Structure 1
Amino acid sequence: MGEAPTDPRRRVPRTDVVLADPRLAAATEAEGRAAVKAAVVQALSRVRSGELEPDDVVGAALAALPGGLRPVLNATGVVLHTNLGRAALSPAARDAVVAAAGHTDVELDLVTGRRAKRGRTALAALHRAVPAAGDVHVVNNGAAALVLAATALAAGGEHGSERPNGWERGGEQRLGGREIIVSRGEMVEIGDGFRLPDLLESTGARLREVGTTNRTTVRDYEQAIGPETAFLLKVHPSNFVVRGFTSSASIRDLAALPVPLVADIGSGLLRPDPLLPDEPDADTTLTDGADLVIASGDKLLGGPQAGLLLGSAPLVERLRRHPLARALRVDKLTLAALQATLAGPSTPTWDALRLDPAVLRDRTEHAHKLLAEAGVPADLVESAAVVGGGGAPEVTLPSWSLSLPSAYASPLRAAATPVVGRVERGRLLLDLRCVPPSADATVVDMVLSVAPRVG
């Protein structure tokens, strides 16, 4: 007997037909025909098992290819979405990265022809942005910055057992040690199981926890200080808020104690921002007395992934000269993007945080009209966006979204230009806040392209 007309195997496209799809042309050129064919064969196998629809084969094959990051449109309403790479670089930063891709003067003085300080122009731009800093240094991410500080100041050994030259606090010279004093309420865990205590202890330093989960006083820190104290660590719990019967020691209070004070502010805010009144900023934290501030470059600063170290000149110089600093240094592309972010116009992060809800509604309304005319079951709804990236957890941004059946979520992620939204209460919300206005039409086109498959 022959196969029944409804046999699902009849719907499986031929391998050569899929390979001829124009959407796979760029991937074939970049990855090679063999790799693309293997991805297509794997996707067709999923169709045969009923796991994948035939129309989704190309998207699934592209997603399965091992090489190359795929650009996506962030319609989640999360400005700094960690899974999507956090901050989108500004046009100026992108241009700087392209320019720096070739040979550059990253460590060369073109006037003298001699070796120069690596990344000097980017560091100068960072120094200008934070006037309260005596000196600045950049490593590859925020965790690396904290590891470098802990290793250089608290891990012991030749490079970590004594204070930096010229260190003085309160008129008293003291030897550093192997102990980091930190509040129990600031022993945080962030995404992907990353825990602050594990990171610090991996350096060989010992942690001295003080206070309680909800209340830690200056006296708690003061009583814990001893000959083995390397520094006090103040961590901003950026991805959660504890309310009720709580208290914590301020930077100003801790700065009065006779040991170094390191503050991990996390978010990368360099100066006060009225939109984010509860987010600590680097300049104020240093002005209040912190000896070293650690921040991230790819969060509220809106730049590339980087760990920023700002503070006392002797302290920063000590970190820069530590052997571990070489392993944690950033490349020329990061330095170029960081400088352009600091010196250039506003970033996409800045613009998305401040987007006028009325403007957003007009854009979303126009997209909704086009979809409605095409018969797509979309609604225009009020929604709320968030900062993301572990920053400002209580701040919500009034927003507008396209609301679609949740069945659109997966096909849109596999579309020729992936569109990533968020599913709430059984509906897919597409928030255009982080989508460049020039890409609004692309969002509409992608929804229209997958609509026949969703039904």
Structure 2
Amino acid sequence: MTTDPRRRIPRTDDLLNHPAVRDASLSATAKKALVQQVQAKARAGEIAPEDVLDHVRAQLPHTPTSLHPVLNATGVVVHTNLGRAPLSHAARCAIEQAAGYTDVELELESGQRSSRRGAGALDALLDACPEAEAALVVNNAAAALVLTCAALNHHGRVVISRGELIEIGAGFRLPELIESARVELVEVGATNRTHLSDYAAAPGAFLKVHPSNYRVEGFTAEASVAELADLAEQRGAALIVDVGSGLLRPDALMPAEPPISEALADGADVVLASGDKLLGGPQAGIILGKKEAIAACARHPLARAVRIDKIRLAALEATVAGGNTPVERFLHAEPDELYQRCRRLAEQLPLECEIVEHDGRVGGGGAPGLRLKGYALRLPEYVAARLRAGDVPVLARVKDGACLVDPRCIEPADEAALGAALVAAWKEQA
């Protein structure tokens, strides 16, 4: 009489108490479900009872999150598929500090609830942009647009040029976003030409949106922020300006990208921008402007629904106050230095490879058409897939049958990891 092999399957409690399982970054419920799933395979004869522990360990997560750090070798600085702006060291430290209990809505001196949530981030924004009287931060730029249209519309209407009814990422279109605030959207002008007189003939608050992910050229006309501000004041209505990418002050590299400070100086009641694009911070919808207008937005019921969390408030404060963000460095990288970095990478490869001129991009809808002069390694196309599948995933650009590896967005500390990934990808194919 033979012993049933299923009797050799490790007990559930023994498996759960094994150090590898006990210390894994999974809930108790998830650990038990995983153990029972593997035990069921052993009972069905799919695996040997002696292999149960090894199969459980193989399926345990190695990190607390399924997100993988990726090296961005595309040359696109604000890469939406990679989470847009990489955070500065100061912002990352701020996130860790804010992960526990914080005084995000508490006045420590009095012990009472604070009426100014995230005061540090708001003060940092006002210090960096003194043209603003007040600040408000919400979950993202789309939330900022919906909130301001809901709070500042004039008799239930918002007026916008037909040339500014843009579509943003993932197929979301501004008209639908604005109308979700339960306001009537009044379209004026034409795709290429909208005059001040078009706005004057339409009732409602004014909304001006920078078409940051495309350009209209040729026979064009538009009303300026200053002109619309005067008209809005005469009407007793608000002027909302969405500059998009979050440039606080002018940057000579991107002369066509409107800074927040300029729109405020020209008389906008509120200016909206993203926190995770040119500002180089976390996802956030930044609203800067006049006290009365900001207060109206903060009082609106939607403000609670689009409230930003303490983690991103901390990261935003550190980003604005600290400066020297990765985005800023990557945008202003010197071509000669990029060439030398390509040479150092090429010297690590077993075969010769070509260094080619390669224009980087701002990305994230910022400064469309602007070319950032630089260089890249030109490798066989197959290398791109190998790089993505490596222990440290690397995203390169695939173009014209080649894999282009651009070091623009690679931190110096990550250059060795990129070199090792290139060598591994090359050897694996060989």
> Shorter-chain TM-score: what band?
0.7 to 0.9
Specify the code of the residue in structure 2 equivalent to 1:244. G
1:253 aligns with 2:227: yes
Question: Which residue of 1 is the match for residue 149 of structure 2?
Answer: 150
1:216 aligns with 2:157: no
Question: Quick one: which of 321, 324, 332 aligns to 1:346?
Answer: 324
Question: Which residue of 2 is the match for residue 111 of structure 1?
Answer: 109
Confirm or deny: 8 A CA contact 2:24 2:60 kept in the other structure: no
Q: Aligned pairs, how many?
A: 380
For the residues of structure 1 that align with 2:318 and 2:65, how far apart are their CA atoms?
28
Question: Which residue of 1 is the match for residue 277 of structure 2?
Answer: 299
Question: Which residue of 1 is the match for residue 133 of structure 2?
Answer: 134
For the residues of structure 1 that align with 2:263 and 2:277, how far apart are their CA atoms?
17
How far 1:67 moved relative to its partner? 4.7
Specify the code of the residue in structure 2 equivalent to 1:232. F
Question: Quick one: which of 305, 319, 330 aligns to 1:327?
Answer: 305
TM-score by length of 1: 0.80
Structure 2: gaps spanning 5 or more residues = 1-19, 38-58
1:452 aligns with 2:427: yes
For the residues of structure 1 that align with 2:34 and 2:429, how far apart are their CA atoms?
29
For the residues of structure 1 that align with 2:313 and 2:303, how far apart are their CA atoms?
15
Question: Which residue of 2 is the match for residue 234 of structure 1?
Answer: 208
Question: Which residue of 1 is the match for residue 376 of structure 2?
Answer: 401
How far 1:274 moved relative to its partner? 1.0
How far 1:37 moved relative to its partner? 12
For the residues of structure 2 that align with 1:358 and 1:36, how far apart are their CA atoms?
55
Question: Which residue of 2 is the match for residue 75 of structure 1?
Answer: 73
Task: Give CA-to-partner distance per residue, 1:259-304, whole Å, 9 cap, x none.
Answer: 2110000000111111111011111101001111010100000000
Question: Which residue of 1 is the match for residue 25 of structure 2?
Answer: 30
Specify the code of the residue in structure 1 equivalent to 2:107. D
Specify the code of the residue in structure 2 equivalent to 1:107. E
For the residues of structure 1 that align with 2:415 and 2:182, how far apart are their CA atoms?
51
Task: Give CA-to-partner distance per residue, 1:91-133, whole Å, 9 cap, x none.
Answer: 0000010111111111112222222221011111111111111
Change (3 A) 1:447 1:362: same
Confirm or deny: 8 A CA contact 2:272 2:288 kept in the other structure: yes
Question: Which residue of 1 is the match for residue 56 of structure 2?
Answer: none
Confirm or deny: 8 A CA contact 1:255 1:289 kept in the other structure: yes
Question: Quick one: which of 275, 284, 287 aligns to 1:309?
Answer: 287
Aligned residue for 1:310, secondary structure, equals strand
Change (3 A) 1:240 1:35: farther
Question: Which residue of 2 is the match for residue 182 of structure 1?
Answer: 160
Change (3 A) 1:62 1:390: farther
Identity score, percent: 50
Question: Which residue of 1 is the match for residue 397 of structure 2?
Answer: 422
Question: Which residue of 1 is the match for residue 15 of structure 2?
Answer: none
Aligned residue for 2:217, secondary structure, equals coil
For the residues of structure 2 that align with 1:102 and 1:71, how far apart are their CA atoms?
23
Question: Which residue of 2 is the match for residue 383 of structure 1?
Answer: 358
For the residues of structure 1 that align with 2:396 and 2:36, how far apart are their CA atoms?
29
Aligned residue for 1:350, secondary structure, equals helix
For the residues of structure 2 that align with 1:360 and 1:345, how far apart are their CA atoms?
22
For the residues of structure 1 that align with 2:71 and 2:60, how far apart are their CA atoms?
16
Task: Give CA-to-partner distance per residue, 1:216-273, whole Å, 9 cap, x none.
Answer: 0000100113xxx2x1000000000111101111001111112211000000011111
How far 1:324 moved relative to its partner? 1.1
How far 1:452 moved relative to its partner? 3.0
Specify the code of the residue in structure 1 equivalent to 2:416. A
How far 1:36 moved relative to its partner? 11
Confirm or deny: 8 A CA contact 1:269 1:300 kept in the other structure: yes
Change (3 A) 1:341 1:66: closer
Task: Give CA-to-partner distance per residue, 1:28-58, whole Å, 9 cap, x none.
Answer: 93357876999xxxxxxxxxxxxxxxxxxxx
For the residues of structure 2 that align with 1:275 and 1:343, how far apart are their CA atoms?
22
Q: Which 10-residue stretch deviates more, 71-80 or 250-259?
A: 250-259
TM-score by length of 2: 0.84
List structure 1 segments (4+ residues) > 6 angstroms apart after TM superposition.
Answer: 32-38
Confirm or deny: 8 A CA contact 1:153 1:177 kept in the other structure: no
Aligned residue for 1:150, secondary structure, equals helix
Change (3 A) 1:429 1:153: same
Aligned residue for 1:421, secondary structure, equals strand
Task: Give CA-to-partner distance per residue, 1:57-106, whole Å, 9 cap, x none.
Answer: xxxx999x995211100111000000001100000000010111111111
Confirm or deny: 8 A CA contact 2:151 2:297 kept in the other structure: yes
Confirm or deny: 8 A CA contact 1:179 1:207 kept in the other structure: yes
Question: Which residue of 2 is the match for residue 368 of structure 1?
Answer: 346
What is the root-mean-square deviation in Å for CA atoms of aligned residues?
A: 2.3
Specify the code of the residue in structure 1 equivalent to 2:79. H
For the residues of structure 2 that align with 1:450 and 1:74, how far apart are their CA atoms?
16
For the residues of structure 2 that align with 1:430 and 1:452, how far apart are their CA atoms?
17
Aligned residue for 2:392, secondary structure, equals coil
Aligned residue for 1:396, secondary structure, equals coil
Change (3 A) 1:393 1:122: same
Confirm or deny: 8 A CA contact 1:254 1:261 kept in the other structure: yes
How far 1:193 moved relative to its partner? 0.6
Task: Give CA-to-partner distance per residue, 1:145-181, whole Å, 9 cap, x none.
Answer: 0011122233xxxxxxxxxxxxxxxxxxxxx311111
Specify the code of the residue in structure 2 equivalent to 1:237. P
Aligned residue for 1:214, secondary structure, equals coil
Task: Give CA-to-partner distance per residue, 1:283-342, whole Å, 9 cap, x none.
Answer: 110100111101010000000000001111011001111111111111111011000001
